[in-house]
Amino acid sequence: MLSESGTRDAGDRIAITLTINGQRRQLQVAPWTSLLDLLREDLDLTGTKKGCDHGQCGACTVIVDGRRVNACLALAVMKDGASVTTIEGLSTGALHPVQAAFVEHDAFQCGYCTPGQIMSAVALIEEGRARTREEIREYMSGNLCRCGAYTNIVDAVESVLNGSSARREAAE
């Protein structure tokens, strides 16, 4: 028969395990709690932002099992066993190259879409499909920036892409 996943407590909570920013955590979640609300409200990882809560802005972009997704549309309970990287887990100490490039290129203003942009950019670089500015623009189009920092965002992403390809060439 169907498995009622985990054990339920009185509050309809279900036990799940998530690896968040490298740290394995046992959590009790209600089935209707989104990954985004879990991060922001329960785990105080407020770096992941809620801009629309409907997958239409990208502010909540996190990396789940190596893929960038909108945390607002993922039910936390369904991610049992997954590995989640948020902006808080991107760097320890020194800034990640993408974070540093965003500061250098002034690729943000108000900062609210920024963690999502950065997580998306990190995934974009990992995916390895964007080479031209045109491709960066298209593959960053799931992240709205109302302050209009787009040209600087493309500059920042391009600088890291060029830097990493330069490093790869040097290594070869």
Partner 1 sequence: MNRFAYTRAGSVAEAVQALAGDPAARIIAGGTNLVDLMKYNVERPDRLIDITRLPLAAIEEHEGGLRIGALVPNSTVAYDARVTARYPLLASAILAGASPQLRNAASTGGNLLQRTRCYYFYDEGTPCNKRVPGSGCPAIAGVNRIHAILGTSDHCIATHPSDMCVALAALDATVRVEGPNGPRAIPFAEFHRLPGDEPQRDTTLAHGEIVLSVDLPDRDFSRHYTYLKLRDRLSYAFALVSVAAALEMDGETIRTARLALGGVAHKPWRNAQAERSLEGRTAGPETFRAAADLILAEAKPYAHNGFKIELARRAIVRGLAQAAAGTPQSQTDKRIR
Partner 2 sequence: MATTNLHVGTAQSRLDGPAKVTGTAKYAAEFKAADLAYGVVVSSAITRGRISAIDAAAALAVPGVIQVFTHENRPRTAWLDYNYRDQVAPPGSPFRALHGPEISFGGQPVALVVAESFDLARHGASLIRVTYEEEVPNTDLAKNREAAYVPPKKRSGIKPPPDPRGDAEGALAAAPITLRHEYKQAVEHHNPMEPHATTVVWEGEGKLTIHDKIQGVNNTQGYVCSVFNLKPDDVRVISPYVGGAFGSGLRPQYQLFLAVSAALDLKRSVRVVLSRDQMFTLGYRPETIQTVALGADEDGRLQALLHEAVAGTSTFEDYQESVVNWSGLLYHCPNVTLGYKLAKLDTYTPADMRAPGAVTGVFALEVAMDELACATGIDPLELRLRNYAERDEGENKDFTSKALRACYAEGAARFGWARRTAEPRSMREGRELIGWGMATGVWEAFMMKSSARARLSIDGSLEVACSTADLGTGTYTILAQIGADALGVPIGRVRTQLGDTALPEAPLAGGSWTAASSGAAVELACRAVSEQLLAFARRIDESPLANADLAHVTFVDGEIRLASDPSVRVAVADAMHAGGVETVEATETAKPSLLTSLRYAAYTHSAVFAEVRIDEELGVVRVTRVVSAVAAGKILNLKTARSQILGGVVMGIGAALEEESMLDHNVGRFMNHNFGEYHVPVNADIHDIEVIFVDEHDDKVSPIGVKGLGEIGIVGTAAAIANAVHHATGKRIREIPITLDKIIA
Is residue 33 within 8 Å of residue 76, measured between CB atoms?
yes
For residues 104 and 141, which CB has a smaller minimum distance to partner 1 in the complex?
Answer: 141
Residue 170 binds which of partner 1, partner 2, none (CB < 5-8 A, kind-dependent): none
Residue 164 binds to partner 2 (criterion: CB under 8 A): no
Nearer to partner 2 by Cβ, of 89 and 168: the residue is: 89
Identify the three-state secondary structure at position 107: coil
The CB-of-98 to partner 1 minimum distance in angstroms stands at: 15
Between residues 102 and 172, which has the closer beta carbon with respect to partner 2? 102
Note whether 82 and 65 are within 8 A (CB).
yes
Rg (CA), the chain: 17
- Structure letter (DSSP) for residue 94: S
**73 scored as a contact of partner 1 (CB under 8 A):** yes
- Of 69, 90, 107, 118, the residue at the interface with partner 1 (CB under 8 A) is 69
Integer CA distances (angstroms), 30 to 8, 10, 13, in order: 9, 11, 4
Q: How many Cα neighbours within 13 Å face the side chain of 151?
A: 0
Binding site for partner 1 (CB under 8 A): 1-5, 12, 14, 31-32, 34, 53-55, 58, 61, 67-70, 72-75, 77-78, 120, 123-124, 127, 129, 132, 134-135, 137-139, 141-143
